[in-house]
């Protein structure tokens, strides 16, 4: 009896020191929307959200963080989510939008799926030659570990914009995490709701002096007299490593792969001048490998793919980009969540692991159009894809990172009441006594000229809730520009704790290489610190020895 009691006490003490006591979530009290008569200082939340409420919230967060432990393992799989242009104000506004639109709450205290990740860092997004970056140079940074010049992809500082001859110098090329993954036997894939030859997905496989050289016709358009000297991005995806080895390619951009004499399945024609049908070339290459493959052009076809008996899949669902989710009614296109699910299901068949890039490119496109309602909705679509990935994978062997390539100039202005629509009016000016919207841009197509008397445009009668409404921009541009501020990096899984802090954007690729033991540089599986036995492992070993001793005694 004494031995059993000693065994019980020892087990309890050791397990408590390893894992801590169980934590219980205490959900905040439900809060209803304010009535139209609510004013500052008399919010309906005042009696519900007293000191005890906020103290409990603080303690819950503290308990959650105290219980978190780094996952010191090699990452078998890596999924990198890019919210293109997903600035910090975009994330804040999206969480408010989610709460108000889908949960019936005030919105400010809503939590997005990836905001639950235990590790958060800050990434610097400048390019080598520009203070404010684009998706090409930033994509090169976080996917290859090397910063580049604006509008260039997969090359270093020696390749300037539009310099075809420099692009052809192999010594100036830099390889991405996709090449690293393939070199160690992992499966790879890309998912996007833009063209698969657009800057972000192209940064995972291409080497080019101009991000716009998506087809040979584009080289001609941008002044290259002989478009055969430099390979366009679509060619590189089909013929060159690592693109030709991708097991999953899902997105838009059919026109970049088909001749200008070939009719598109939906509308228009292809755009290639060389007469080559790269979609057919992709299929032939898989047949020559003796691999099963599937080319699809609609959601219905994608959903019908027999994943178990398919090795490679190419899905091109639009002639160009897939379009904004809210404006896609009637179109037979898959969602970002559906494409992500399909990609993971196919890639998971590889027992050695996989690396997947998923881009929500329409956050960026909507911001460029000056349409915040669409941008925030696309952020929620990204969140759904992240949630799907979490359900399909194991945190202990899959590193998931959610970040942005760059920001935008959208801001959240003062002083709307808590619970006011994120698309509503922020305040009334104490100078001209006219309102402004809570969301606005520093520049863009939403600019309105002032009145002849010098007063500003009055937005009072505008329909702020219209999904394509453009709030006023300070300066007129045809396309709103990127912003230069840092972006957040959310991470969970093996070695995710190493993504905390403030760092250069190119560090992300180095961390991925370290965690998954691939590419140049230091690897977790080869690290000297990996040979040391962690404290928890030592305690578990001690526990096992003690149990054996007590049983034999």
CA distance 107 to 33: 10
Q: Which two tokens stand for residue 182?
A: 């393939």
Q: How far is CA 389 from CA 178, 249, 338, 341, 383, in A?
A: 19, 17, 10, 7, 10
For the chain, what's the residue count?
Answer: 553
Torsion on CA atoms 287, 293, 296, 302, rounded to nearest 10:
170
273 alpha carbon, distance to own chain's centre: 33
Q: Exposure of 42 by Cβ count < 10 A (0-12 exposed, 13-18 middle, 19+ buried)?
A: exposed
Cβ atoms of 104 and 405 within 8 Å: the answer is no
Contacts of 174 (CB under 8 A, 6+ apart): 140, 144, 145, 146, 148, 154, 155, 156, 207
Q: Exposure of 452 by Cβ count < 10 A (0-12 exposed, 13-18 middle, 19+ buried)?
A: exposed
Among residues 252, 260, 279, 174, which one has the least CA distance to residue 218?
260
Q: How far is CA 321 from CA 215, 318, 496, in A?
A: 15, 6, 32
Q: What is the greatest pairwise CA distance in the chain?
A: 97
Cβ atoms of 77 and 393 within 8 Å: the answer is yes
Q: Which residues are known catalytic residues? A: 135
H-assigned helices in 68-173: 88-98, 135-144, 164-167
Query: At how many degrees (to 10) do helices 535-552 and 2-19 cross?
Result: 170
Q: Which two tokens stand for residue 538?
A: 């030592």
Cβ atoms of 286 and 294 within 8 Å: the answer is no
């Amino acid at each position: 009896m004494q031995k059993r009691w000693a065994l019980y006490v020892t087990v309890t003490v050791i397990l408590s020191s390893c894992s801590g006591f169980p934590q219980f979530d205490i959900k905040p009290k439900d809060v209803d929307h304010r009535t139209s008569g609510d004013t500052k200082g008399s919010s309906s939340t005042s009696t519900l959200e007293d000191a005890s409420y906020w103290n409990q919230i603080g303690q819950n967060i503290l308990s959650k963080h105290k219980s978190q432990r780094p996952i010191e393992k090699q990452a078998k799989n890596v999924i990198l989510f890019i919210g293109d242009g997903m600035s910090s104000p975009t994330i804040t506004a999206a969480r408010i939008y989610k709460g108000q639109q889908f949960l019936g709450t005030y919105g400010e205290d809503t939590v997005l799926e990836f905001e639950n990740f235990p590790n958060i860092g800050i990434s610097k997004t400048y390019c080598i030659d520009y203070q404010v970056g684009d998706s090409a140079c930033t994509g090169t940074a976080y996917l290859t570990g090397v910063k580049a010049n604006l509008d260039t992809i997969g090359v270093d500082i020696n390749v300037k914009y539009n310099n075809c001859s420099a692009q052809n110098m192999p010594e100036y090329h830099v390889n991405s995490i996709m090449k690293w993954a393939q070199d160690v036997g992992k499966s790879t894939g890309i998912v996007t709701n833009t063209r698969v030859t657009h800057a972000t997905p192209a940064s995972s496989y291409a080497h080019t002096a101009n991000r716009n050289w998506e087809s040979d016709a584009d080289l001609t358009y941008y002044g290259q007299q002989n478009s055969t000297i430099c390979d366009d991005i679509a060619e590189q995806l089909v013929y060159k490593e690592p693109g030709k080895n991708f097991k999953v390619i899902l997105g838009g951009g059919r026109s970049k792969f088909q001749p200008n004499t070939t009719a598109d399945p939906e509308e228009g024609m292809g755009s290639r001048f060389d007469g080559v049908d790269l979609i057919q070339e992709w299929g032939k290459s898989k047949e020559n490998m003796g691999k099963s493959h599937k080319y699809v052009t609609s959601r219905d076809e994608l959903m019908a793919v027999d994943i178990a008996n398919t090795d490679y899949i190419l899905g091109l669902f639009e002639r160009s980009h897939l379009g904004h989710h809210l404006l896609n009614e009637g179109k037979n296109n898959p969602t970002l969540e559906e494409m992500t699910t399909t990609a993971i299901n196919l890639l998971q068949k590889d027992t050695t692991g996989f690396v997947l890039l998923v881009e929500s490119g329409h956050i960026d496109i909507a911001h460029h159009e000056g349409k915040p309602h669409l941008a925030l909705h696309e952020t929620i679509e990204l969140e759904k894809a992240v949630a799907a990935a979490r359900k399909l994978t194991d945190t202990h062997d899959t590193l998931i990172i959610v970040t942005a390539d760059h920001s935008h100039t959208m801001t959240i202005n003062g002083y709307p009441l808590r619970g006011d629509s994120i698309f509503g009016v922020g305040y009334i000016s104490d100078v001209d006594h006219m309102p402004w919207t809570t969301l606005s841009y520093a520049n863009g197509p939403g600019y309105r000229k002032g009145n002849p008397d010098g007063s500003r445009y009055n937005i009072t009668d505008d329909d702020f809730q219209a999904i394509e409404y453009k709030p006023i921009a300070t300066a007129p541009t045809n396309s709103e520009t990127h912003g230069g501020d840092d972006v957040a990096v959310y991470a969970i899984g093996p070695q995710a704790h190493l993504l905390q802090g403030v760092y250069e954007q190119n560090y992300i690729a180095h961390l991925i290489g370290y965690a998954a033991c691939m590419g140049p540089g230091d690897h977790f599986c080869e690290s000297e610190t990996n040979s040391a036995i962690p404290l928890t492992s030592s305690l578990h070993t001690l526990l096992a020895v003690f149990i054996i001793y007590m049983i034999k005694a």
